[in-house]
A = this chain, B = another copy of it.
């Protein structure tokens, strides 16, 4: 008993010391915040300006999991990464912006494979240990001379400090980098989860042109990591929408290298798995919300709360219909409390429900009750809608299922950005 207490105290001390030792080198809120991850972001010249190629490298073998676009038109890097994901261990993620390498046929596929091989040879590992991702215009082949030069430079400059530049290097029409970070305790060890994302256009449930990379030093089995990622994505990236379009390149990949030396999480029923899944979901949700907030041309983040739905499926269909309705999104842009469009969007969602039971609030202002419009203070509605964060509450009063989704308003800026993206 006493021995056990001493043991426990000793562990705490070791832990404290280790934690203190780690802090100075911890790059807070960066993809290299978890132990034994390094990164590099370089300019190889695919984008007009700025860094456009990045590598995230785990200094020890890691397990990886990933989710990809559900679009049946899949870019070459997706095909390569899907195949490589079958490997037990992974070491690095290569990503470029400035070109999607989608609809590029066999030559594009060969380019993607060659990129992974080059990274592997530079890092001294197997090509199957490399995951790759691309974003940019569809249908144009990558300039492999630039990619190869970029890979050489990037692999020469891998370090912890460069981690903070990865979020910028993957941006396309994003107006700001997107990062998230969590520390958690697993057993007596501190574990770090860090993520980056890019979004802006083609953002939609089921992973749109969205790239997100998450690193963690947790010790977790590949299988448990996959389950945790799927669950986290379901509640985060699959609940956001910018324009209803999904892309050919969406990728969210996570690497877990075990450097935190926590007791290995292998059972999804364990307490540690629950803690890890919760933190991972928080990181993914923060990234997803930032993607919705930074939708092309967006000025407002719209949170859609579906409450008391008859089923979770109905709640999902309704949240998606509201989040993608151009009429709802333009009304929000115009700061117009046009709740009829919200109810009409729900009505065409495919969900079966009784519209005559539904209450709708915009912020804390109830605008419709039991499916019928209320007289409300238009001035107060305008004030609520003038904020850059708006909540639409769709209280169905016909069940016990709730969920939250996020979208953004649709402004003339969206049109401007997308009318001339290739030029």
Cβ of A96 < 8 Å from any Cβ of B?
no
Interchain CB contact under 8 A, A344 and B247: yes
In A110-141, the 8 Å CB interface with B consists of 137-140
In the complex, which of the residues B248, B334, B372, B420 contacts A347, with contact meaning CB atoms closer than 8 Å? B248
Chain-B contact segment, one of A28-36, A42-50, A159-167, A322-330: A322-330
In the complex, which of the residues B341, B348, B419 contacts A331, with contact meaning CB atoms closer than 8 Å? B419
Chain B nearest Cβ from A420, distance in angstroms = 4
In the complex, which of the residues B74, B411, B422 contacts A415, with contact meaning CB atoms closer than 8 Å? B411
Given A245-B325, A325-B245, A327-B243: A340 touches B100 (CB 8 Å cut-off): yes
Interchain CB contact under 8 A, B105 and A370: yes
What CA separation (Å) do A136 and B243 show in the bound complex? 25
Cβ of A73 < 8 Å from any Cβ of B?
yes
Interface size on A, residues (CB 8 A): 65
Given A137-B340, A326-B244, A345-B245: A334 touches B72 (CB 8 Å cut-off): no
Chain B nearest Cβ from A260, distance in angstroms = 38
Cβ of A38 < 8 Å from any Cβ of B?
no
Chain B nearest Cβ from A38, distance in angstroms = 34
Cβ of A310 < 8 Å from any Cβ of B?
no
Interchain CB contact under 8 A, B138 and A341: yes
Cβ of A157 < 8 Å from any Cβ of B?
no
Interchain CB contact under 8 A, A423 and B244: no
Binary interface encoding of chain A residues 299-323 relative to chain B, with 1 for a CB under 8 A from any of its CBs, else 0: 0000000000000000000000000
Interchain CB contact under 8 A, A331 and B139: no
- Chain B residues near A201 (CB, 8 Å)? 327
Given A137-B340, A202-B344, A423-B336: A330 touches B73 (CB 8 Å cut-off): no
Interchain CB contact under 8 A, B246 and A344: yes
Question: Which secondary structure dominates chain A's binding surface?
Answer: loop
- Chain B residues near A327 (CB, 8 Å)? 201-202, 243, 245, 418
What CA separation (Å) do A416 and B353 show in the bound complex? 32
Given A105-B371, A243-B327, A355-B103: A340 touches B138 (CB 8 Å cut-off): yes
Given contacts A243-B327, A334-B418, 7 further A-B pairs with CB under 8 A are A102-B344, A103-B371, A105-B356, A137-B338, A246-B348, A327-B418, A411-B415
30 A/B residue pairs, CB under 8 Å, sorted by A: A71-B344, A71-B347, A72-B347, A72-B353, A73-B346, A73-B371, A103-B355, A103-B372, A108-B372, A137-B338, A138-B341, A138-B343, A139-B339, A139-B340, A139-B372, A243-B326, A244-B324, A244-B325, A245-B325, A245-B344, A246-B344, A248-B344, A248-B347, A327-B418, A334-B418, A336-B419, A336-B423, A338-B421, A338-B422, A412-B412
